[in-house]
Amino acid sequence: MFEMDILLVLIPALPLAAAVLTAALGKHLLRGQSHLPAVAAIALSCLASIMLVFQVQGEADRTAGDTERVGCERIVRLWTWAAVEEAYPQTQSPSDAPAETAARSLQIDVTLRADPLTAFMLATVTFISLLVAVYSIGYMRGDPGYWRFFAYISLFVFSMTMLVSASNFLLLYVFWEAVGLCSYLLIGFWYQKPEAAAAGKKAFLVNRVGDFGFALGVFLIWTTFGTLNFHDVKIIEQTVLVNEVPTPSTTLVPDRYVGDAKVLGQKPGVLGQTMLKGPGLYEDLYRGLYPDRWQWAATAVCLLLMLGACGKSAQFPLHVWLPDAMEGPTPVSALIHAATMVTAGVYMVARCVPLFIASEHALQVVAVIGCFTALLAALIALTQTDLKRILAYSTISQLGYMFLGLGAATLVGVTAGMFHLFTHAFFKALLFLGAGSVMHAMGGVIDVRRFGGLRRLLPWTYGTFLVGCLALAGFPLLAGFFSKDKILEAVHGQTGPLYQVLFWAAVSTAFLTAFYTFRAFFLTFHGEERIPPEAGHHAHESPPSMIGPLVILAAGSVVVGYFSQWIFAFLEQTPSLAYGGVPKEAPGGEHAAGGLVVGVSIAVVLAGIAAAWLLYVGRRALVEPLSRAMDSLRLYQLSHGKFFFDEIYGLLVVKPLEALAWLSYFVDRYLIDGLVDLCGLLPKLLGAMLRPLQNGLVQFYALAMVLGVLVLIGALLI
Amino acid sequence: MDSEIALLHNYLIVGAMLFGIGTVGFLSRRNMIVMFLSAEMMLQGVSLSLVAWSRFRNDFGGQMLVIFVIAVAACEAAIALALVVALFRRSGKLDVAVWQQLREENQPPFEEPELPEEPSEQPPAWPSLAPAGLLPEAPPEQTDYRSHV
């Protein structure tokens, strides 16, 4: 059995090694076998992650009765990345005590953490990645960039596993950017395609906006809390060699590295500080220093972090990049833009829930943004005709659900949000890979108006896609039902009119979700069989390496819902959630409403599916007058045009910036270049002035020489 | 000693006269051979003053230098006269002003070419695209070409 530390290091290290190996050898040596290192590394990572989950569970069981240590948290410190002494300003009463000096120093360690939340995310990410990597073997076969694809995928898995296991904000930010980079590389994988290149650029730039907010949030965390660590550290005395002379010094290490060193004090991490009960060291040091700041700093930090999460998780107002990201290869859409990377924002907010709870309104903002995005994306998805884009909007919508769950500000809400992340990873990866299988058979056509009735042609895809659709719609007894229901319950359980509005908005979103999911499903697989000419005569079911992951994911989409109790109990052992900063239940909320919520949720799902069946299978004649009615109200255009966000942003952001770019171009072209041209013109003019002297008459040159010599002699004589 | 100085004066005066006459001749005549002779005369004027100084200072370095100068002048005369002959064969004249323009009559004058403006970039013709997903079929020479990266 491996130690937890080794597992935690192996999980990101293996994909990194595979990425380096594939990048170095792929083009010339591995070529068609480039998938081997990536798949092997991700499979081992997945195995390690699952072992880590069980070890974390075992550790948590051991400390179950302990009041000192709640849950399981294991910090692995690899090396110190940066250390600045006296980085934090002096307090009102400056002191030279070593403990306080050390407390003011900035020390950034490369630390990984293992706790239930991280282990859970690691297992989800690596498992889905493994299936998608296997699927890609079949899907990407024969592509000229085969090795490049698997190098990027390994790099992505490395970045994502580091992101979820990082234990300080700076490291989190670094890998936050790294997954953004991988996303950019993979969206623009077919860089010869102008659309793909533009989509990659758009995703990167929209993410920059969010990342800028995130960076500001990290700065504000530093100035507010005086640390960037999630975990608490002890200040210990150690001896270092200065010019070969042993000199006493202080350093900051996580609890388990203290050993028998003398402990001078402690420095709680960001999450620890938000949960401090009495006045601790930091109460004196920092809160006492800026009493007012504490009030607004927590809210400002949370809103800035939420802006970062909006960018990465494609929430309103930064959701515009995700649908365009579908230009990438379909496995990428499944892996990065549906199942894993886009959940980074959800993970980050879940990680920082104690921080969000410390602020009065931050979680309400999260809930409102999530719910609004969920509804908006569902409305857009109603009329889209590109199968992958429908799924992309449903991803945005489901991510909104997750944020809504986190925003419910209770333990059950947070865990429900994370559980929805887990189940969503399964069925959304399944749906995307199924869409990829359809595309594969249809010769690259993905417009649902151009094919139909594929259920006999693609029986495996049909069956698995149906399971995915049912799970996404939240059909009873499938994975999506359990997680969505928990979120609805959590929101319903929260008091206040705001949450009641959010609840009903979420219920209507559930109806829309069921409707648009089955609209896409019926249009693709039911009705008369239509195959576009691009498919040629070889429209066929996909190879086993593509069907296998589909079947596994479909099985997962059915069964993972039944692990909800265990997963909830597991996640609740996360120290940051378990210390009591997060209320178990909403104060004064009604708990007896479970039955009502389940009933409403089942009813709307069935209504949604029935409506879709009626319109797209039963009586297609109804579609025409309905869409005409919607057309006359301009609602159809509004939805089909994606609420014109691209146009609005184009007008408000892109056009002014373009104008600025033109202005800069003209300043550069005519002002700066003018000056440079002037410099070039001076020697030219000088040359033109001196050119008549070169008249070709030997006597003239000789005379000039003689006169010059005379002048020299004259100068010497004088 | 006085006679030595007087002797030096005489030689220096003759040397200076030779140099001056040579200079004036070089500046005023256009016949290439005469110009060459004038230049030689200047050279000999200088050589003469060198020899005189050498005699005066009892240092044979100057005389050695003059022997070298004469040797070099002989070589130079061979080259210079060869050039004169070559130039004469081309133009039929010994007038140096004939060579004021080195460009031949039937050659067009050289003009500095204007730098071209920024090259206009024609976007390559792309194949028609699927709305999302698969790589479109395109010939490799087109896909390998990237106007921007």
A76 beta partners = A112
Distance CA A262, CA A278 (A): 24
Averages of pLDDT over runs of 10 residues in chain B (149 residues) are: 90 95 93 93 94 92 94 94 92 87 79 70 57 55 54
Q: Report the distance separating Cα B136 and Cα B142, nearest Å.
A: 12
Query: What chain B residue is nearest to A140 in terms of C-alpha separation?
Result: B134
- Asked if pLDDT for residue A359 goes beyond 50, the answer is yes
pTM for this entry: 0.78
Contact between residue A612 and residue A522 where contact means Cβ atoms under 8 Å apart = yes
Contact A446 B132 (CB under 8 A): yes
State the nearest Cα–Cα gap between A699 and chain B, in angstroms. 5
Collapsed DSSP state (helix, strand, coil) of residue B127: coil
Between A291-312 and A344-351, two packed helices, what is the crossing angle to 10 degrees?
Answer: 160
Nearest to B133 among A192, A330, A695 (CB): A330
- pLDDT tens column, A45-70: 999 999 999 988 888 888 776 666 66
What pLDDT, on the 0 to 100 scale, is given for residue A294? 62
Q: What is the mean pLDDT of chain A?
A: 85
Is the Cβ–Cβ distance between A54 and A2 less than 8 Å?
no
Tell me if ipTM is over 0.85: no
Is the torsion defined by CA of A333, A335, A339, A344 positive or negative? negative
pLDDT digits (tens, 9 = 90+) for B52-69: 999 999 999 999 999 999
What does each C-alpha distance from B27 to A703, B23, B65 come to in angstroms?
A: 7, 6, 27
Confidence of residue A492 (pLDDT cuts 50, 70, 90): confident
Task: Give the least confident one: A320-329, A639-648, A701-710.
Answer: A639-648
Chain pair A-B, CB pairs under 8 angstroms? 59
Report which of residues A438 and B134 the model is more confident about: A438
Name which of A193, A444, A703 is nearest B27 (Cβ-Cβ): A703
Count other Cβ atoms within 10 Å, centred on residue B112. Answer: 6
Tell me the chain B residues in contact with residue A326 when contact means C-beta distances shorter than 8 Å. 132-133
At A283 the pLDDT is 45
Confidence of residue A2 (pLDDT cuts 50, 70, 90): low
Place of tokens 């004064």: A588
pLDDT band at A40 (very low <50, low <70, confident <90, very high): very high
Strands (E), A130-232: none
Rg (CA), chain A: 31
CA distance B100 to chain A (A): 4
Residues present in chain A in total? 718
* Parallel/antiparallel/unpaired status of strands A74-84 and A233-242: unpaired
Q: What is the mean pLDDT of residues A510-524?
A: 91
Q: What percent of chain A has pLDDT over 70?
A: 91
> Any idea which of A275-279, A577-581, A595-599, A675-679 has the lowest mean pLDDT?
A275-279
* Cβ-based contacts of A534 with chain B (< 8 Å): 130
Report the residue from B23, B96, B135 with minimal CB separation from A193: B135
Q: Which residues of A fall within a CB distance of 8 Å from B133?
A: 326-327, 329-330, 388, 436, 439, 444, 446
Q: Closest Cα of chain B to A545: distance in Å?
A: 18
Smallest Cβ–Cβ distance between A445 and the set B35, B97, B130 belongs to B130
Indicate the residue type of A349: V
The per-residue pLDDT for A13 is 93
Who among B28, B129, B133 is closest to A439 (CB)? B133
3-state secondary structure A685-713: HHHHHHHHHCCCCHHHHHHHHHHHHHHHH
Give me the helix-helix angle, A459-473 and A411-441, nearest 10°: 160
The pLDDT value recorded for residue A87 is: 73
Element (H, E) at A79: strand A74-84
Q: Which chain B residues are Cβ-neighbours of A699 within 8 angstroms? A: 26-28, 30, 96
Residues 6+ apart with CB under 8 A from A95: none
Report the 10 Å Cβ neighbour count for A460.
18
User: Which residues on B lie below 8 Å from A446 (Cβ)?
Assistant: 130-133
CA gap A287, A157 in Å, rounded: 39
pLDDT bracket for residue A285 (50, 70, 90): very low
Kindly list the distances between the CA atom of residue A389 and the CA atoms of A46, A512, A522, B140, in Å, as whole numbers in the listed order. Answer: 29, 16, 16, 29
Q: Name the pLDDT band for A568 (thresholds 50, 70, 90).
A: confident
Measured between beta carbons, the chain B residues lying within 8 angstroms of A386 are 131-132
